[in-house]
Amino acid sequence: MNNTNHLISSDNKGLAALMYEADINGKNVLPGKGRFVAAFAQANEGDVSPNTQGPHCLDTGLPCDFNHSTCNGRNEMCIAFGPGKDMFESTRIIATNQYKKAKELFDSATTKLTGPVDFRHTYTDMTKQSLEGGRTTCPGAMGYSFAAGTTDGPGAFNFEQSSTSPSPVWNFVSHLIKNPSAEQIKCHHPKPILLDTGEMDFPYAWEPAIVDTQLLRIGQLFLIAVPAEFTTMAGRRTRDAVAQSLMAHGFTDKPIPVIAGLSNDYADYVTTFEEYQVVSGSSPVEGANDHVQNVLF
């Protein structure tokens, strides 16, 4: 469902859950009242879209410019479309595909979870972490690509994704709100800063600085609860790092790490260093990298 939908909707994942529950509990059982409860959660979804036909120009029907998601230089005309004729049919198709695959996996599963239930929960100030090579993290900031939105819902004022050049006009406007320091500009390079949200606290903090992360254990399953939307590769690397750490600290069974995104807090998007350099603040699909605090790589 794109941002033109003004109805209350649980979108494709909610519909997939309803389909699964109706299958197990029966069609006459109200949602949430049966013996079986289905949940389709988000993992590392920061650079993905269910609109499988990809972004096309509303005026010409041609594919959008890949690097900037624009149509003749305008981002508002670039919209991603799903497998159906409209977003309602697309939602049904996408939900049905998820439901069928989940049921297939559920019915064919052979691995049982055995072992203790445990957790770890920590709070970290992500604005002042020391990294390898003498580097440090810095407060978050929103770049120009953030204002461009995504192909699932473009922004206004014709900002472009993957933008590396600031606008004197918008710099003047944004700096009236908060003028980023030279250190902040250097830290976020190559992303040009539009809003220095990490250093703005009136009337309240515009961007979280201290974020909480969790590791939840159910036997050999480990849920990595992170307060952001990780890209595909950022999630893969995080899962690998957790698995390696567990094995290094004596975990004998093969761990099953799973990213549980959007948990406990919201610190925007998290991408890898390589993605950040290539697109300088945004991915062609989700506008993902530009929200990142430049501290979570």
Q: What is the pLDDT of residues 102-124, one digit of tens each?
A: 999 999 999 999 999 999 999 99
Within 10 angstroms of residue 219's Cβ, the number of other Cβ atoms is 16
CA distance 281 to 188: 9
Residues 172, 192 contacting (CB under 8 angstroms): no
Q: What is the pLDDT of residue 24?
A: 96
Q: Are strands 229-230 and 210-218 parallel, antiparallel or unpaired?
A: unpaired
- Segment 65-94 shows an average pLDDT of 88
User: Does residue 269 have a known ligand-binding role?
Assistant: yes
Residues 221, 109 contacting (CB under 8 angstroms): no
Q: 49: burial class by Cβ within 10 Å (0-12, 13-18, 19+)?
A: middle
289 pLDDT more than 60: no
Q: What is the pLDDT of residue 172?
A: 61
Helical H segments across 132-222, by residue range: 144-148, 168-177, 182-188
Structure tokens at 138: 């810095």
Residue entry with tokens 């049921």: 103
- Segment 197-205 shows an average pLDDT of 89
The verdict on whether omega for the bond into residue 203 sits within 30 degrees of 0, i.e. cis, is yes
Backbone angles phi, psi at 169, to 5 degrees: -65, -50
Residues 6+ apart with CB under 8 A from 103: 20, 23
Q: What is the pLDDT of residue 146?
A: 81
Q: Which residues are catalytic?
A: 49
The helix/strand/coil state of 22 is helix
Higher pLDDT, 190 or 92: 92
Instruction: Indicate the angle between helix axes 11-25 and 87-108, nearest 10 degrees.
Output: 50
In the chain, the percentage of residues whose pLDDT exceeds 90 is 48
Within 10 angstroms of residue 46's Cβ, the number of other Cβ atoms is 27
User: Does residue 45 have a known ligand-binding role?
Assistant: no
